[in-house]
Every structure is written in C-alpha cells, then in structure tokens.
Amino acid sequence: MVNIDEKSVLDSVAKTLFIGGKWRSASNGAVFKVEDPSTRLTIAEVADATAKDASDALDACVSVQNSWANTPPRVRGEILRRAFELIVARSDELALLMTLEMGKPVAESKGEVAYAAEFFRWFSEEAVRINGDYYTAPDGNARVMTLRQPVGPSLLITPWNFPLAMGTRKIGPALAAGCTVIVKPAEQTPLCMAALMSILEEAGLPPGVVNMITSSDPGAVTAPLIGDSRLRKLSFTGSTEVGKLLMSQASGGLLRLSMELGGNAPLLVFADSDLDKAVNGAVFAKMRNMGEACTSANRIFVESSIVEEFSQRLATAMSDLKVGRGTQDGVQVGPLIDQPAIDKVTSLIDDATSKGARVVTGGSKLDMSGYFYSPTVLVGVESTWRIAQEEIFGPIAPIYSFSSEDEAIAMANNTNYGLVAYLFTENLNRALRVTEKLETGMIGLNQGLVSNAAAPFGGVKQSGFGREGGFEGINEYLYIKYIAINHKS
C-alpha cells in the first residue's frame, strides 16, 4: 500500500526523541506505533519517552536558556527565517508526510505547510521588535521604564489535527522571544514535528534550545515537567477537557499559560447575504480538515426565508466532494483520525435522527478500509441536542433556522465555547452590529477562514485564552519588567 515516494518520505524522518541537540531512543527503549488513518496500516514506530527523558529535555532547556535569551534578536530571527525557507523548500515532502500520518488531502496538507512556515517568517520579523517603554509618571518626577524579557523554559503541547502549524505557531514566537522549549506533539502525528526538529537543527538552532519528546502516555511525561519549578510556561492546544486538567496541574507552580482549546463555531447566514458566498464559505468552514478543526462550523444558523434553498445548495455542494485517500488526485475529503472519531460522529447522528432530524445527504460511515465518513447535511436540528452542544469534529453540517437577528445572536452565543463565528450578510450595519454581539475571539465576515499568521488567533469562554500569531503572539512568551526611576532626587 505504501508506494516508493511514501516510503522514502517516511524513511527520511527520525523516529527518536530530540534532546539537547541529539537524536536518541527512549531511555527504556520503548516505541509506539503510528497509523495511516486512510489504510489503518502502521507507518512508523516512534520512541516512547519516559519521565526521565522529559526531565533530560528540561535539563537541556535550562542549560542553554541564558545563552539563548542573550543571543542577539537578529540572530534568533535569522535562524527562524532560514527554517521558514527550509520548510518552503521541502513543502512537498512535508505535505506527503502530513497526509500519511493525519489523513488530510495533500492539497490541504500543502496549505497547512505554507501556513506553518508563515509563523516562522512572521516571528523572525517580530524577534527584532521586542521593545520596552520609558515615560514620565503623572507626578512629573518618577520615570517608568519597562523591558520585555523571555519567560524561560516552556512546554508546548500540540494536537494531531494540524500537526505542523500548531507547532510552529508556538515554537516561532517562543524562539523569537528568547525562550527554550520542549515540544510534545500528539501521539497520532509525531512525524511532522520530528521533521521540523531536523529543519531547525539544519537552520542552525543551537543544541538544547528546542527539544521534542514523543509519548503514548502524555500525562506520565508532562505532569512531572509541569510540576518542576524550572519550567516557567505551558502553552497547550487541544481539547477543553485536557486544557482544564493541565491548568489545575500548572497552578502548583503558577506557570504562565496559553490555552487554545475547543470550539463550537456558529455560522450565521442572513437572507441579505450573497448566497454563493455563504454556501462556499459554509463548505470551507465545515469541511476544512474533514471538519476536524477547532474552527469548524459546528452549527449553521440560516434565516427561515432562505433555509430551504440554502440547505439544498449546501447538500449539493457537500455531496459533490470527492472522498478518498488523501494521496490520490482530486480527493477533497480524507478519513477521520481514528475509530473513536467515527464512533463519536455516528453517535451524534444517531442521537439527532432519533429525535427527529432529517439527513439531506450523507449520514453514514463509508465502506472503505480507513476511517471514512460521508459529508453530511442535517436539517430540523434543535439547539438543546448533543450535536449542538458538543464539538462534532467531523464532516456533519447541522442546519438550524432563525427568524430574527436577536434570535440568531442568542442561538449563536448559547454555548460554553467562544473561539470563532462566521457571519454572512451584505448589510454593513448588520455586520458591525452582530460582530460586536457575538461572544467569540474571532469572526469570519463573509468568509469561512480566519487563520492567518499575521492575526491574533484565540478564543474566549471555554475556548481558552492567550493569542497565537499577530503582534500579540510573542507576548505569550515575554514578561514585562518595570524599573522605577526618579533621577531628580
């Protein structure tokens, strides 16, 4: 099943830990398997770190923290810039690797590789703009001086759904700020992160500044690190449930935290929208990454006068999508990540249909070797059902109907999550009114995509806190030091 290109890409990646600039096996020699979700075949065996390996990684961080923080910002930036260029030069290989371990179609993987690279370019430019301030206090005597300094050794934990970009979105600002890091990628997708470690090494990053531990038992390796007083920062992207657990662990050492957690994005379509734009935007916001994105449109609210037409058009667009192994030409929708993902989607559909929802298209697992589920449109869904309250993380578009702007806003905000919302309307005043009232950290206005390395990505409510990307992203890895001066006395 694995062809020659696939084999050479898989062979080219180290399957070991990266600690203190050295590639090495787990201290007990253990490994775990990585599966291709489109075939269910094992494609690699990767080192399974122990708590001792994790502690070695922190030793490495601590030993070079001062020298890295004192490395000129221009030099730090130039290393990131070289890493950006290496990612771009290897985008075909990285994209294939991503498709093999995660399943998304190669065209989408290429999009993620470009997005991932962009964080290194952006933060290579931000590394030289870590400024402070100097001003006169209101009494006319005191002077206030501020510096921004690196927070120190940081643990970065990333999910499987964007195997490369969720890493560069943290590593880029951390390195630019002068922090050393340990990266813990998801068990299902460690290979892209290993490839990234090689790129950073080749770009000239000194040993120990970046370290990677891979594990099949994440709590066992990260809890001791989080409890170690030498660690100063935890940045986590993943589920709200695990985020809460890590926050409670981090309270012992009062770690600086960034939490990029789950979403339950509403997508609002008003009757005054451009319907072509709204349908295309909905397909994109729903189906990017097979619906396995924190930004995925989870609840589609459509004004009652156009709900029938919109549902039909969305169903046609969804049923036209070609599902298959992500390495095949023309495939637009790959497999879900694993059997639990299929089970979750199936149980949400079963729950909704048993309560009266109607499947317009899709609605079943596909009879293929991997974890494939058909793109699905559901109508007649209600806001109190599980499918409205939980993250679907799959290719299901449930459509709800509303009859006024206030009702649409209330329905959209009726969730504990608050990452992103999408809004389709050609009425400028409505667009401004509604965006101000939606309780989310980001809004896609007449578009189904918000991700941009130059913009502050992040949520409110139980979608977390902190911002990644944009001018704000580097602040997650800096603290402000204030120096009190009174030169008149």
Residue of the chain from 13, 80, 83, 157 that contacts ligand NAP (CB under 6 A): 157
Task: Give how many residues touch ligand NAP by CB under 6 A.
Answer: 29
Q: Tell me how many degrees the CA angle 389-391-397 measures, rounded to the nearest 5.
A: 90
- CB of 242 or CB of 399, closer to ligand NAP: 242
Write each residue from 415 to 434 as x if it is in contact with ligand NAP (CB under 6 A), else as -, in one continuous string: ----x---------------
Does the annotation mark 260 as catalytic? yes
Cα-based distances in Å from 104 to 5, 111, 132, 183, 393: 17, 11, 42, 22, 14
Q: Rule CB under 6 A: is residue 69 a binding residue for ligand NAP?
A: no
Strands 31-36 and 41-47: antiparallel
User: How far, in Å, CA of 404 to CA of 69, rounded?
Assistant: 54
Q: Rule CB under 6 A: is residue 160 a binding residue for ligand NAP?
A: yes
User: How far, in Å, CA of 355 to CA of 348, rounded?
Assistant: 11
H/E run at residue 147:
strand 143-150
Residue of the chain from 39, 91, 109, 222 that contacts ligand NAP (CB under 6 A): 222
Residue of the chain from 182, 242, 282, 392 that contacts ligand NAP (CB under 6 A): 242
Write each residue from 103 to 122 as x if it is in contact with ligand NAP (CB under 6 A), else as -, in one continuous string: --------------------
- CB of 127 or CB of 213, closer to ligand NAP: 213
Amino acid at 86: L
CB of 292 to ligand NAP, least distance (A): 7
User: How far, in Å, CA of 331 to CA of 326, rounded?
Assistant: 6
Q: Rule CB under 6 A: is residue 262 a binding residue for ligand NAP?
A: yes
Residue of the chain from 105, 150, 159, 418 that contacts ligand NAP (CB under 6 A): 159
| Contact positions with ligand NAP (CB under 6 A) in 459-478 | 459, 463
Q: Rule CB under 6 A: is residue 168 a binding residue for ligand NAP?
A: no
CB of 412 to ligand NAP, least distance (A): 17
Q: Rule CB under 6 A: is residue 263 a binding residue for ligand NAP?
A: yes
CB of 260 to ligand NAP, least distance (A): 3
Q: Rule CB under 6 A: is residue 158 a binding residue for ligand NAP?
A: yes
Q: Which stretch binds ligand NAP (CB under 6 A): 66-74, 152-160, 408-416, 480-488?
A: 152-160
Catalytic residue among 35, 101, 126, 260: 260
Q: Among 334, 321, 333, which Cα is nearest to 103's?
A: 334
CB of 158 to ligand NAP, least distance (A): 6
**Burial class, 479, CB count within 10 angstroms (exposed 0-12 / middle 13-18 / buried 19+):** middle
Other CB atoms within 10 A of residue 65 CB: 21
Q: Rule CB under 6 A: is residue 261 a binding residue for ligand NAP?
A: yes
CB 118 within 8 Å of CB 80: no
Q: Rule CB under 6 A: is residue 228 a binding residue for ligand NAP?
A: no
Q: Rule CB under 6 A: is residue 161 a binding residue for ligand NAP?
A: yes
Q: Among 232, 236, 190, 183, which Cα is nearest to 19's?
A: 183
**CA diameter of the chain:** 81
User: How far, in Å, CA of 221 to CA of 319, rounded?
Assistant: 43
CB 333 within 8 Å of CB 290: yes
Q: Rule CB under 6 A: is residue 235 a binding residue for ligand NAP?
A: no
Torsion angle of alpha carbons 177, 180, 186, 191, nearest 10°? 100
- Token pair for 2: 């694995």
Does the annotation mark 179 as catalytic? no
CB of 37 to ligand NAP, least distance (A): 13
- Token pair for 452: 């941009």
Q: Rule CB under 6 A: is residue 219 a binding residue for ligand NAP?
A: yes
- CB of 48 or CB of 303, closer to ligand NAP: 48
| Contact positions with ligand NAP (CB under 6 A) in 70-99 | none
Q: DSSP letter string over 48-80?
A: ---HHHHHHHHHHHHHHHHHHHTS-HHHHHHHH
Catalytic residue among 61, 179, 192, 294: 294
CB of 309 to ligand NAP, least distance (A): 31
Cα-based distances in Å from 49 to 19, 35, 53, 71, 340: 11, 18, 6, 30, 24
Q: Which residues bind ligand NAP (CB under 6 A)?
A: 157-162, 166, 184, 186-188, 218-219, 222, 237-239, 242, 245-246, 260-263, 294, 391, 419, 459, 463
Give catalytic residue positions: 260, 294
